[in-house]
Structure 1
Amino acid sequence: METLALLLLAFFTFGTLVLAGGDLGVGMLLPWLGRTPTERRTVLAAIGPFFLANEVWLVALAGIMIGAFPGLEHELLLERRTAFVALLAAWIVRDAGLWWRSRIEARPWAAACDGMIVAGSWGAALALGAVLGPVLGGGLGGVLLAPLFALLLALHGAGFCRLRLTGEPLDRAAPLGRYTVTTLALGAVTVAAGLRLDLHEMLAEPATLRVVTVFVAVMLPLLVGGQLLTRWAFRRRVTGPGYL
């Protein structure tokens, strides 16, 4: 059961970084990829069908971490609570910008929402790097890893846009990132973080661990199946603005 819990934690960490991290990366590069209001709405349409489903992985990751790894919750959530509060606040700002942008047809309103999307995306990426940095490097090295991790997410977003966009936004995204390469890099980050933490000492009591692990394992096929179905349904490239 311990091995299964560790595998599930690694899988959901990797999935969250790849899926939700790509959405953040697109938001971080929004001013560069979209030079006009129409282009920016087109860029946002690339993540429109996915970002809510991707956030479910973050919720699932938090659930298994709190339920099956209470020691990890203390290590990350409590000792780095400032970074986590910043992460949550930035994520809310990003999502608010996404939802509000197309609700009022006024250029100043759209510009303000674009600013929320960009600032929230960069803030969330840097805060996430501030959480992972000390785990990966420690000391000054951990501090320096935060902006490097944010840059990795920006490149990951560019790689995602290479798969979804057309026209000039695609031309701007193409030189910046390759989705496969950045996905492998995020996988390496996941493995490195796991190796640096003594996760066996952070496990919950056997009874609690059994309940949480079995529940997450049962839900896993539904999450993966839903993600694959969504990807297949929206597999075509974006050619114009969406609902965001």
Structure 2
Amino acid sequence: METLAIVLLAFFAVGWSVLAGADIGTGMLTPWLGRSDHERRLVLTSFAPFFLGNEVWLVATAGVLVGCFPALEGDLLSGQIPVVVALLTGWTVRDAGLWSRGRGPGPRWRATCDGAVTCGSWTVALSWGWLLAALLTGRPYTTATGPSAVLTALAVAALFAAHGLGFATLRLTGRPYERARLLVGHAGRPWQSFALTAGLMGGLPLWAGTALPLPERAAAPSTLGLLVPALLCVTPLLVAVQAWIWHTFRHRVTRPSYL
């Protein structure tokens, strides 16, 4: 059961990193991809159908961590409070910007919400990199500091942005697409960049997981015996819903909608 719990934790963490990393990375580059109100709305429309479903993977990751690895969760919560607060703040600000954009008066309100999406996305990406910097040391109970932590956070944020660019080349049209394609490069097909960054994004939580004492911090066998089978039953449903969402909205966006 311990092995299955570790596999489930890795599966959900990788799923969030790859899927949510796409919309977070695109949100980070919204001001550059969209130079006008119309273009920014087009950029936000490219990932609007996905972001809530993608966030479920982070909730599932946290749920597995709390239920199956409570001792490790305690270390993370007590030792990484600044990182967790920054991550949740960025998450909240970003989602508030997305939800509120079409519900206020005038272009100034929409520009403010666009700024909230961008700032929130950068905060989430940098916080995730900051957290990984601590996890890679094998000391989850201590917040990472120093130049190595800063460089790790910046490198992870850059990877988020690159992943978002790959996603943008698959979803956008018009001038926003041309700007994304300019940075990605015109050699090869658009999906190749997205596949490459997806592999790198998925490797981040796996790399961090190798430095953690997961087997030693697992819950009691009786607890795992209840939680793991339940998770195994729910996981196919989550995957099926996610696949349906990506299939339904697989086409490029040609006009603003949703927001």
Give the structure 2 partner of residue 224 of structure 1: 239
Q: Could you tell me the TM-score, scaled by structure 2's length?
A: 0.90
Shift of 1:76: 2.2
Give the structure 2 partner of residue 6 of structure 1: 6
Aligned 8 A contact 1:129 1:149 in 2: yes
Q: Give SS of 1:226's match.
A: helix
Shift of 1:74: 2.2
Aligned counterpart for 1:179 among listed residues 168, 188, 194: 194
Give the structure 2 partner of residue 214 of structure 1: 229
Give the structure 2 partner of residue 156 of structure 1: 163
User: What amino acid is the match of 2:96?
Assistant: A
- Indicate the RMSD between aligned Cα atoms, in angstroms: 1.3
Shift of 1:105: 4.1
Aligned counterpart for 1:146 among listed residues 146, 153, 165: 153
Aligned 8 A contact 1:46 1:238 in 2: yes
* Matching of residues 1-244 of structure 1 within 5 Å: 1-137=1-137, 140=146, 141-177=148-184, 178-244=193-259
User: Runs of at least 4 residues of structure 1 off by over 4 A?
Assistant: none
Unpaired runs of 5+ in structure 2? Answer: 138-143, 185-192
Aligned 8 A contact 1:76 1:131 in 2: no
Give the Cα separation in 2 of the matches to 1:124 and 1:104. 25
User: What amino acid is the match of 1:202?
Assistant: R
* Bigger mean CA offset, 170-179 vs 50-59: 170-179
* Percent of residue pairs bearing the same amino acid type: 49
* Bigger mean CA offset, 81-90 vs 183-192: 183-192
Shift of 1:167: 1.3
Give the Cα separation in 2 of the matches to 1:157 and 1:149. 12
User: What amino acid is the match of 2:19?
Assistant: L
Give the structure 1 partner of residue 188 of structure 2: none
Aligned 8 A contact 1:134 1:143 in 2: no
Aligned 8 A contact 1:28 1:119 in 2: yes
Give the Cα separation in 2 of the matches to 1:190 and 1:88. 18
Unpaired runs of 5+ in structure 1? Answer: none
Shift of 1:139: 5.8
Q: Give SS of 2:183's match.
A: coil
Aligned 8 A contact 1:66 1:73 in 2: yes
